Structure formats: C-alpha cells, structure tokens
Structure 1
Amino acid sequence: MNNQNITEFLEYYLNLPQSPEYAVMIDAPWGAGKTYFIRNFLEKYYENKDSKKERFLWVSLYRLSSIEEIEAAIFAQLHPMLSHKGMALTGKLLREGLKAAINLDLSTIKIPDYLKDIDNTVLIFDDVERCSIEMNKLLGYLNHFVENQNHKMILIANEQEIETHSEQYKKIKEKLIGKVFKYEASSVEKILSDFIKNYFNDKSPITLFYINHIKLIVRIFNLADYSNIRVLKQALQDFERLYKTLDQEILDQPELMSSLLRVFLILFFEEKSSGYSIEKIFFDRSRFVKEYSKNGKESLSEEENKLKKIHDKYQDIVNFSWSDILLGNDIWLAIVQSNIINQKAINLSLKNSRYFQYENRSGWYRLWDYQLLAEDEFNQTFNNCLQEIEQNKISELGELQHYFGLFLFFSENNIRKAEAEEAMEQIQHWIGELAEDKKLPDTSEYPSWWGESWDNRRVTSSEQDRYKEFLDFVKNKIQEQEKSMYPDKVAGLLKDMVDDVHAFSEKLIADTKGTSIYRKNPILAHIDIEEFFDKFYLAIPENRYRIISALERRYEYWGRNKELEPEKKWLQNLLKKINGQKLKFQDHQHLIFLNRLELVVEEIVKNWES
C-alpha cells in the first residue's frame, strides 16, 4: 500500500497560486491514521515555507454541534491568548446572526470579519463525519470558505459513514469536494514507532520493550482486522499500566513478557472489534471446542463458527493458544473490561506459568513449546539451541534425543531446514565422540521406552523412520562403548565378589530401585571362568552363598531379560568347568559350594533351553 499519490497531489494543490475553488477529502475509516498522515505531511510541507505568508488552521469537528462552536475553534487558533474569552464573545456576537444562517440559502451565510482576515491560510477540518451538525448545513457552511473566500481546504473524514447518515451528501459533495483520496493505512509500523517515541519516556523500559516488539504488535493488529490506530495506541497505554505492576523477576523473563503482550493485545482487540465480549469467548470456548471435536464443523451453529474463527485466526501466525493465556479468565476480564489490575494475583499467576519452569534447563525444553512461541521468541530459542549443539554443551543422552527429534521436525517442515540438518549431523558426531570418551550412559539405566520420552516430555518425531534410525545409531554407539569398557567392568565385578558381595548382587539382580546396572547387560559373558572360580574361592563361605544366590535370582525372570542371551553359552561352559573343579578339590568346603553352584546353574540352563 502506498499513499504517495496523496502526497504528490496535496503538494500540487497547496502550491497553486490561488484556490481552485474546491476542497480535497482524505477518506479512511476512523482511527486508520489519516490524521497522523496529514499532520506529518503539513509539517514537512511548511518546514521551508514563509510562515508570515502561509499557514494552516486545523479544526476538529468531533462533537461540535453548532456553527458558533466551529468559529470559536477557529478564533482560538487565530488568537490563542484570547481563546477562552474569544469563544464566549464570539458566541454572543454571532449567535443572532448565525441562528438563521443554517436555514438559509448558501449565499446568505455571512462570515465574521475576523474570519475574513485569514488570507493564504489552508483550512483543515478533521472528523467531519463525527460532527453533530446536519451534514447539508455543515458542508454548506464550509463551502462558503472555498467558494466566497477562495480558501484551500482539506477535509479528513470517513466518507462511508457520511453517506450512511446523510441522503443529501452526494448532491452537496459535488459543489464542495473536487477530489477524494482513499488513504491506506500502510505505515502502521511508522505511526506506531513515532507514537511510542513521543508518548513514552525515551529512557523508560516500556519504550524499549515496545520498540523491540513492534513487529509483533503490528502483526497482531493486522490479524485483528480492526484498522483503528487510536485503539492500538490505547492498547499500548493500557498495557503500560499492567507492565508497571509486574515484579522484576517477571520483567526479566523476555519470552514470558512477549507472550503476555501477545495475549493482552489479542484480548483487547477482540473485545473492541469482534462483536463478542471476551467473557463470552471464554465461556463458549470449551463448549464449542468439545462439540467441534465430537461432530465436526457441521455441528456448529453460525455463531459458534464465528467464535471458532476468532480462536483460530491467531494460532498459526503468532502461535497463540487459548489454553495458554497465562492469567485466569477472571483476571483478564478485570483487566480488559474493568481496567482493574490485581497486582498480587497477576504476579502470582505469572510466576506459576511454564516460563519459570525453563530456568536452569537446556534450550530444548523451551524449543519443545515451539507452538507457543512468537516468531522472535522462536528464532532466539532456535539460535540458542544451535549454539548449545555447536559448542557440544549437551552430554545427557535424553536431551540429545529431544534435540534430534525437534530438528528433524523442523527440517521435515522446511523450517530453517539447512540449519536443522546441520544440527542433526552435529548431534550424531557428538554422540560418536562421547562414545569414544566412554561418556555415553549404559542403556540398562533407562526404561524400555527411553528413546520415546525424556524428562516427562515425549520426543518430537519419535514415530518417524529417520528418528528410529537415529536411535539405532545411538544404540550401536553405546554397544561399541560397552564393549570397549568390558575389561574395566569385568574387573570391577570380580573385585566385588571378594570385597563387596552386596554390590556384586545389586549390580546383577533386577530390582525396583533401578540400581542394577547390569540387569540387561550380558556382563558375565565377558568374564573368564577361571578368574570367576579364583574370586569365588577367595570369598568367605557366607559370601559364596550370596554369589550363588545372585546368579539364581539374576535369571529368575530370564524370559523378561532376553538381552542376557549371550550369557547362556557362558553358563553352559561354567557348568562343564564345575565338574573339573570338583575333581580338583576334594575338601568338603569346596565340594559343598561347587555342588550348590552346579544345581543352580543346571536349573538355569535347563529353563533357558526348555
């Protein structure tokens, strides 16, 4: 959208040596920014003009109900020092002469002498449609300045509103208005930026906050489809009141503050423009969402469909969710409808929001909520996550799985695809390095669904084939790591047979505490049987029983631990070696424990083979 045509024509119009005897109208809906546009144009136009030769008078007709009030407003601008007395004097002197004027032919209208002494003055009349004087009488009065006084005139109005309430407008318009230009509110961001800098203190935190969020503000304003700049300004003024009541720890949460602004603006604009109060929107939400989910769109009434559109229109663009509005419905109703700000309740609610759950967590936790992030929040969080991956800051396998799943999702949806692909490659490379440094966890430390969920959040894209291939890659790296670590693990387990049989048992036997680090790891298959016997004999008699008991209990639920399959051959070999040991030792202590060990191992092998 471009209003350059208006600027060019107004420059031509004002530069004419004399009035062409018609007014120019700038037409746009109320609050669209046309007043700001004309003021800005005139400021630049008169910047290099001789103020003694040319000037303009600006009169807002908003709620003026008589010609006397218009002339008083003009007098006030001509003589600001006398404006208060002048308005009273003007009303007194002109009341009788103008009382009948509005009912007479246009040629009978008389302009006071002091209004004739305004040569080279451009008259600007704003809010034409909001004047309380009958439109035919108002335009007839204004026409006298153009036709009889040869003034140039600019009218700022919502022409559609005039046409709706005045049947004679089109006939009168032909006599007074020569050109009508449709102003298009193309510079909302510029208007808003100037308003923020001029209205709020340059050094105040709210000014910087608004400047940093100006694109989000404009985006929501455009989605609201309200086109009323004045209401947008009012929204920012009202939000400032809310902003000033917030505790510093809340103000220090940029994502939370962005989300709060987003929710506030959406509720504010919908309350003003949708035809529904936010109370009704809140009240009907659960009902029609439930109905929609159950029976589909056809089950909704016309009104419910309108409400659903209100709920849906912000969701994809600014990631807005009506289920995540930060404050309770009653708090929002008080703020938006009644201008009541309950400081204590607001601060408490915000401190209980999901944003304070992010503290001391890796970036994936925040990125996981990508649907709730505004565009600037998303990009900042995405960048932070990339930095964590690039710097290899993550060593927790569950977090790396979340990262891979998230980046896979973004890549599949063409969201920063190249960066996401590079991040996934970096994750796999980093997992390889962790395996070489023996820093990957033993998978036995995790439940069977460890690749699908972590930290109470389901891994994004966990159902995708590419993610499953990634899990296979991770498992292979863990197996490679475990193989390289077996000598040390075996040595530790053998040492425990002698020095800490309780630890030996705890490591091998599955329990509800999750302390059995080898419950799914076939560690025994890597133990040399001769070394096993050496340590077995070094253990005190009481601990030999405990070692045998640990073996028996390890395979008590062998059918549930198929990961231990490699130990089957080790047990078979152990059984064969026991006979040789019985021939080697004839004393009763060795024979008693060897016979007990033989019975237990025979039963394990028998069950395994059956």
Structure 2
Amino acid sequence: MNNNQHIREFLDFYLGRPESKLKCMNTDYAVLITGYWGSGKTHFIRNYLGKDDSEIRNWFTDCKDYCVVYVTLFGVKTREEINQRVFQKICPVLSSEKLENLVGNIPNLAELAGFVVGLVAGTPTIAVASKKYSKIVGNQLKELSQKVVDDLKKTKKEFKKTIIIFDDVERADVPIPELLGYINEYVEHLKIPCILLAEENIWNEAKIKQKNDSTLHSLSSTEEKVVGKRFLIQTTPEEIINAWFPDDVVAENSVDENDKVCPPSHIFGDNVHELLFPHKNMLINIIKASGVNNYRAFKHTLHDLNNFIGFGYCNIPKKYFEKDKDFGKYLLADFLCIQYAKYLDLLKKDFYEIDSHKSTENDGSYKDFKNQFENIDRITSLNYLGDEYKWLPLWKKWLRNGSIDKDEIESKIKDTIWFDRKQDDMLPKLYDWYKLSDVEGEKALLYFKEILDEKKLLDPDAIFSLYYKFYWYAEKGALEETPDEFNKKMNEYLDSIKDNIHYQDFSSFGGMDSYEFMTEAFEKNVSEFRDKLKKIVLARKEFHNVDETNYFNAQMKSENDLTFNLLCKKVENRNSYNLEKIKEKDFVESFVSLKTMERKNRFKAALEGNVYFLSQIPLRG
C-alpha cells in the first residue's frame, strides 16, 4: 500500500470524487498537508490531481476534473498581496480580446479575487460583491465571471469543481491566525475546498512562537476552526525517482501523428535522462544513504548535472559514457553524492580549503561524508591507484566555482583504469582468469586480444606469465585456440615488439627463471618461447643506457602534469620502474622539491602501490 494512500482516500472524500465510498456533505474547512522541506508535498498533490498519468504544466487548466488555483504564499505580507496572487493565476484565462475592456473597467479587480474565484466555482456570491462595489460593478463582475467560465470551457473540456492550493503557507510574512482567517473566507463563505501545504518544522516553530502572543487571536482556536484535517506526507525515494524517470518517455523535439512537436515528458532534459535512467536504483540508494529525504535538494542536484556535463556533452564527451558503462556510473555517483551533500550541508566550508591528503585523515566533515556514502560505489571511494587524491581537487573546484575545466576533467578521465590505465586493472584479472565469471572471463579475453593487437603488452614478466597460463588453458581445451595456434600467435607477437619491449634486469629478482618450477610439465613446449623472450630482452640492454637517477629527477621536477603523472604510473608498478637504483639522497631531495600537496599526495599514493619498494624501506635505513 502507498505510504500516502490514506491521504488520497480522504481527499477523494473531501473533493467528492466518485472513488470515495462516503459522500462529503460539507467542505467548510481546509486540509493541511505538512512535510519536511523537499519531501514531495507539491509533487504528491500534483500527481493526485493529475491522476498520476498526466503532467500538470498549467494548474488552472491541466488538472483532470478541476480548475486549480495554485498560489504560493512565500513572502506575502498582506491580504492584498494574497488577493493579487490569486487574481494573477486567473489572468491567463482572461487574456482574450473580448475580456480586455471589461477587465479594465472594473476598479481594484484584484481585491475581488475571492469573488471571482467563487463565481468561477459557481458560488452565488454576486450579491455580496454588488453591495460592496455597486450594482453596475456587480453586474459587470457577473458578466466577467460568466465569460471566464465560457473561455475556460474552450481550453478545458470539462471541470466539476474549483480548488485552491495555498503552498508555502509557513513562509508567509503574515501572522498565522490572520492568514487562516483569510483562508476561512474561501472555505466557510465561498464553500471552496482549500488544500494548504506547509513545511512541518517551520509550521510547528511558527505556532510555538505565536502561541503566547496575546495581541493575536487564539491560534489553536483559529486553526481548529479553519483546518479540519491535517496530514504528514511520507513520500518514498522509490516513488519520487520513478515519477521523475518514468518508463514511457517522450523525448525532446519528438512529433506526434499530426507532425506537431510534443513537449518532453521528463523534467531534466534528454542528456540527464539518458544518463540516469539505467541507474534509478543508484539514485534511490544515494537518497537513502544521505539519511535525509530532501527531494527538492536532490532535484536541484540533478539539474546541476546538466551544467556539469555541459550542453550537448560539451564538458564531458558522450563517448566516455558510451565506451564504459561502469565508468559512467561511478562518475555520476561521485558527482551526485558530493553535490547532494553540499545542499544538505554535509560538506563544510573548510572542505574547499584543505588539501586532499589532509581531508581524508584529519578533517571530520569529509570523513563523515565518506562514511555517510560508504556503500555507494564512486570513483573516489573505489580509489584505484590513488584516484581519490586526483579527483578531490576537481570536486573542490566544482563546489567552489560551479564550473569545471573540460581539458582537466578529460585528462583525469583518461587517466583511469577504464581508459589509459585499463591494463593496471585487467592484467590481474588475466592472471586469475580461471576465477572469473563467464561474463568477466569473456571481457578479460577480449582485453587480452586488444592489447596484443595494439602491441601494448611490453613487460617481459607479464608476457611470459600470461603465455604460460594461457598455454595451459589451451592444453585443457578452455580456449578456442589449440596450444599450437596459441604458441604461434605469441611467437609472432614477440617478433612484432622486439624493438619496443621493456628491458628487465632479471638479476634483481627471480624474473622468468622463477617460473621454471611451474613449467616443468610443459618444459619441452614452453622452453623455446621462454628462451626466445629472454634473448630479445637481453638484446635490449645496450639500448637501456638511461641514467635512472637523472631521469627520475627530471620527471619529478617537470612542470608538465602529464609527465609527472606518467612517472607516478610507472612508480606504482615495480616492473615498469626500478626505484631501488635511485640514490636515497636524490630520492628525498626530489620528493621535497615537489611544489604542491597535490603532487606529493599523488606520488605517495603511487608509492603505496609499489608494495615491494615499501617493504625494502626499513632495510635501506
């Protein structure tokens, strides 16, 4: 059962809908619906009056069976201002040329807002109007109201009742007893159903504040007289997200059978809908993880996503979302969690000012944020090879400035395991290929083929390790290729990369010789490949005359971020860079010379990935 079904059933009774089992004999009271800020009060009443299957763009004409005068009371200071707002809601219906002169001849028409609404609703209040404004004006008003009804019927085929919705009641700058007295004129004298929407906490605070004010009417007695029923809205994240992202969607600029352009049925635009529709469960989980069901703030967050990706994907090219769905999901989750947390004030001001390393260890607000959303997979939470340290500066810039540098974010996207660093993620999976699911195993095989076709597998130890494992798989019939076909392919691959393969000093660790105990059963078959590989690698030694220390110093001090990041990527993998040959003094001086905390944190994260080097630090003193 819907959490708010009891409210729907009472409104059916209150408005005299056929669905109601009971007939309402009297509507001389208002219904108050409260809820916490952003909890979906307006969304609920919009869906209810639209019968859940049509979007209300114009309250006055689009609600089935009813003419709805929707008025926000935010900031109103006088009864006259409320009258003015009520009348303005009717004005679009009074826009025909036939009514212009008539409207202009009636003085202070805004003050007659209640009477106009009453006349549209069919309430016999013309006598009251005539006494106040003279018989001539009263007759003109009667003529006006009849023309309003006639004009309304042209735009709306049928309507049975007029309803007034007063939203943001708690934010009116009018004492609550006086405001309720104004509303009482509609419900008691004009017999017009009124639905009041208010924020729960502020409404209660306002009541407490005015409770002991002796200059005002008794609030409790006034509320008791005017408000006949009060409900607290309880809208779930599932209801909101499914309403925002329905299964049947009309895309922007689509046309109907008469070649007329149809308005889009979703509210965030084509791009955001396209990106988020497959991840509705993720959106629901983010709201739940926050602990605050503030749908208004989350709606703002989704609109902000439009600015983040840019019009027509101008900030983040669409190809990145299309090429890897996991990347798109994790990036979107990171943005949504951080932006929503900002609206909820879960991220404090100092988040913008602290360096990224300190933020993860010493700053309570960011630590609390991470704990709050720990079950949501995000780029920064997954933290592949120091991704958190790379992305935090970008998020801080976004939260501070509301904009991003497209070149900067594209550079960060490329430097992830889903793109340029894909090998860092996929190679370990290839090593343990037999443990993977069918789907993951197929993806890993496709990646193996990809790096061979593109000649990206250049590390000797990785080449032999994968050769050994997959030759064994071929022997067992797990591959489509026979062992001979696989062996031929890998030998041809060696020939194609012999001038580019990385040099490896096998004396520093076991190298390929460490596999000899593993290859005993296949010695006859694999020894030829292993010997050929070692010969090619040793031939590269004469070209490997770069001074490691000078190279390291140059990369560390480079002003080019891409050059520095390339060094960090090598440091993360001991097989790509031999840190042990860097002199301690040069190593420390180069690290101290780093000018920014972002670089120091990036390099420290790279060191953390080099487990072997860290294990040697105590021995090196």
1:317 equivalent among 376, 379, 387: 376
Instruction: Verify: 1:287 aligned to 2:339, yes or no.
Output: no
- Structure 2: which 5+ residue stretches go unaligned? 17-22, 55-60, 115-127, 133-137, 150-159, 212-218, 251-263, 492-503, 543-621
List per-residue Cα deviations over 1:280-329 (Å, max 9, x = no partner): 266176336445xxxxxxxxxxxx55542212222233245366358655
- Contact 1:432 1:477 survives alignment (8 Å): no
2:50 equivalent among 21, 43, 51: 43
Cα–Cα, structure 1 residues 3 and 364, in superposed 2: closer, same or farther, change >3 Å? farther
AA at the equivalent of 1:236: L
* TM-score in terms of structure 1 length: 0.55
1:259 equivalent among 308, 318, 330: 330
List per-residue Cα deviations over 1:52-98 (Å, max 9, x = no partner): 98533222222222212222222233342447999999994677999
Worse-matched range after superposition: 55-64 or 316-325:
316-325
| 1:41 Cα deviation from its structure 2 partner | 0.8
- 1:144 aligned partner: 185
Cα–Cα, structure 1 residues 357 and 282, in superposed 2: closer, same or farther, change >3 Å? farther
CA distance in 2, matches of 1:384, 1:399: 24
CA distance in 2, matches of 1:133, 1:229: 27
AA at the equivalent of 1:345: E
| 1:2 Cα deviation from its structure 2 partner | 2.0
- 1:77 aligned partner: 89
| 1:273 Cα deviation from its structure 2 partner | 1.0
- 1:134 aligned partner: 175
Cα–Cα, structure 1 residues 124 and 345, in superposed 2: closer, same or farther, change >3 Å? same
- 2:420 aligned partner: 357
- 1:560 aligned partner: none
Report the 3-state secondary structure (helix = DSSP H, G, I; strand = E; otherwise coil) of the residue aligned with 2:329: helix
- Contact 2:38 2:297 survives alignment (8 Å): yes
Cα–Cα, structure 1 residues 73 and 348, in superposed 2: closer, same or farther, change >3 Å? same
* TM-score in terms of structure 2 length: 0.54
Report the 3-state secondary structure (helix = DSSP H, G, I; strand = E; otherwise coil) of the residue aligned with 2:398: helix
Report the 3-state secondary structure (helix = DSSP H, G, I; strand = E; otherwise coil) of the residue aligned with 1:21: coil
Map 1:228-377 → 2, pairs under 5 A: 228-243=294-309, 244=313, 245-253=315-323, 254-277=325-348, 279-280=350-351, 283=354, 286-287=357-358, 289-290=360-361, 305=364, 307-319=366-378, 321=380, 324-325=387-388, 329=392, 331-358=394-421, 363=426
- 1:220 aligned partner: 286
List per-residue Cα deviations over 1:220-274 (Å, max 9, x = no partner): 2332233222222222222112213223543444333323222211221121113
| 1:35 Cα deviation from its structure 2 partner | 0.7
AA at the equivalent of 2:368: K
Map 1:95-114 → 2, pairs under 5 A: none
Identity of aligned residues (%): 21
Aligned residues: 425
- Contact 1:77 1:83 survives alignment (8 Å): no
- 2:441 aligned partner: 386
CA distance in 2, matches of 1:275, 1:160: 19
Worse-matched range after superposition: 220-229 or 350-359:
350-359
AA at the equivalent of 1:386: G
- 1:101 aligned partner: none
CA distance in 2, matches of 1:52, 1:287: 57
1:19 equivalent among 14, 22, 26: 26
- Contact 1:129 1:157 survives alignment (8 Å): yes
| 1:26 Cα deviation from its structure 2 partner | 1.8
CA distance in 1, matches of 2:41, 2:240: 11
| 1:38 Cα deviation from its structure 2 partner | 0.7
Report the 3-state secondary structure (helix = DSSP H, G, I; strand = E; otherwise coil) of the residue aligned with 1:317: coil
Map 1:156-167 → 2, pairs under 5 A: 156-166=197-207, 167=210
Cα–Cα, structure 1 residues 390 and 431, in superposed 2: closer, same or farther, change >3 Å? farther
Cα–Cα, structure 1 residues 248 and 144, in superposed 2: closer, same or farther, change >3 Å? closer
- Contact 1:30 1:228 survives alignment (8 Å): yes
Report the 3-state secondary structure (helix = DSSP H, G, I; strand = E; otherwise coil) of the residue aligned with 2:32: strand
Which structure has more RCO (C-alpha within 8 Å, separation ≥ 6)? Answer: 2
Map 1:546-557 → 2, pairs under 5 A: none
Report the 3-state secondary structure (helix = DSSP H, G, I; strand = E; otherwise coil) of the residue aligned with 1:31: coil
Q: CA RMSD in A?
A: 5.5
- 1:461 aligned partner: none
List per-residue Cα deviations over 1:375-407 (Å, max 9, x = no partner): xxxxxx9764232479997899959989xxxxx
- 2:80 aligned partner: 68
List per-residue Cα deviations over 1:87-133 (Å, max 9, x = no partner): 999994677999xxxxxxxxxxx988769979942221112112222
Instruction: Verify: 1:59 aligned to 2:71, yes or no.
Output: yes
AA at the equivalent of 2:206: H
List per-residue Cα deviations over 1:149-181 (Å, max 9, x = no partner): 222221111132111123335443222222222
CA distance in 2, matches of 1:336, 1:199: 30
- Contact 2:380 2:391 survives alignment (8 Å): no
Report the 3-state secondary structure (helix = DSSP H, G, I; strand = E; otherwise coil) of the residue aligned with 1:62: coil
AA at the equivalent of 1:37: F
- Contact 1:127 1:156 survives alignment (8 Å): yes
- 2:229 aligned partner: 179
Cα–Cα, structure 1 residues 392 and 190, in superposed 2: closer, same or farther, change >3 Å? closer
Report the 3-state secondary structure (helix = DSSP H, G, I; strand = E; otherwise coil) of the residue aligned with 1:178: strand
CA distance in 2, matches of 1:152, 1:46: 23
- Structure 1: which 5+ residue stretches go unaligned? 99-109, 292-303, 369-380, 403-423, 455-471, 494-502, 515-610
- Contact 2:180 2:222 survives alignment (8 Å): yes
- Contact 2:70 2:166 survives alignment (8 Å): yes
Map 1:82-93 → 2, pairs under 5 A: 82=94, 92=108
